[in-house]
Amino acid sequence: MARIAVLGGTGYAGGHIVREAVARGHEVTSYSRNAPAEPVEGATYVTGSATDDGFVPAVLADADVVIESLAPRGPLEGRVRPIVAALAAAAPAAGVRLGVIGGAGSLQVAPGGPQLFTTAEFPDAFKAEALEMGGALDDLRETPAELDWFYVSPAAGFGGYAPGEATGSFRVGGDVLLADDEGTSFISGADLATAIVDEIETPTHRRQRFTVAY
């Protein structure tokens, strides 16, 4: 059993991670600005802001793994990258593994090819988020070797607008966008959570980014 802290644990990705981790018997604490409408039985919920003084040390003190799933929009626009940097700086001394949920925008559309957010098809409304989370990934890649981290880019069609179902069957890739034969890139919230808790239980992407899609 691991002690898992999920930042943004009442959001779409974070909520699925909390549910999956609890179902597997882990000790899970969710951190978010607001209490959940439908709490997961067995999870602990803490409300507050990730930008508050003392937040990072408090989270790291009670966890073996911290999953950062905050979205850099609204009041957190431009503030998630510094939160990830603060966690990364303090995690090694605390003996904590850090997982970061980013977006698909920084994935390459083909091996060695351009990143998704640079293509004409990428929505302008999401470019700022893609740049911020891509920057967070760049920062992680420059951290000292003692930091144990992983970064997850879901498929391009990931989100609460298209929740999908739990299938238990998906592909795991690296820095290149995964899509099916029709060019569709999708993963459900439940299956993304399965992949993330799999990584927590059996680490295979140390200091690496991976992506998940059908």
Q: Answer whether residue 105 shows pLDDT above 90.
A: yes
In whole angstroms, give the CA distance from residue 42 to residue 28: 8
**Whether the Cβ atoms of residue 68 and residue 83 lie closer than 8 Å to each other:** yes
In the prediction, which pLDDT does 56 show?
96
| Residue 174 belongs to domain with CATH number | 3.40.50.720
Concatenating the DSSP letter of every residue in 23-77 gives HTT-EEEEEESS--SSPPTT-EEEE--TTSTTHHHHHHHT-SEEEE---SSGGGT
- Over the stretch 129-180, which tens digit does the pLDDT of each residue have? 999 999 999 999 999 999 999 999 999 999 999 899 999 999 999 999 999 9
pLDDT given at position 162 = 86
User: Cα angle vertex 73, ends 46, 170, to 5°?
Assistant: 80
Q: Is the pLDDT of residue 49 over 90?
A: yes
Give yes or no for residue 191 having a pLDDT over 90: yes
Which tokens in the block code for residue 171? 């592909």
The total of structural domains in the chain comes to 1
Domain, as residue range, for 148 = 3-213
Q: What is the pLDDT confidence band of residue 127, given thresholds at 50, 70 and 90?
A: very high
Look at residue 106 in the predicted model and tell me its pLDDT: 97
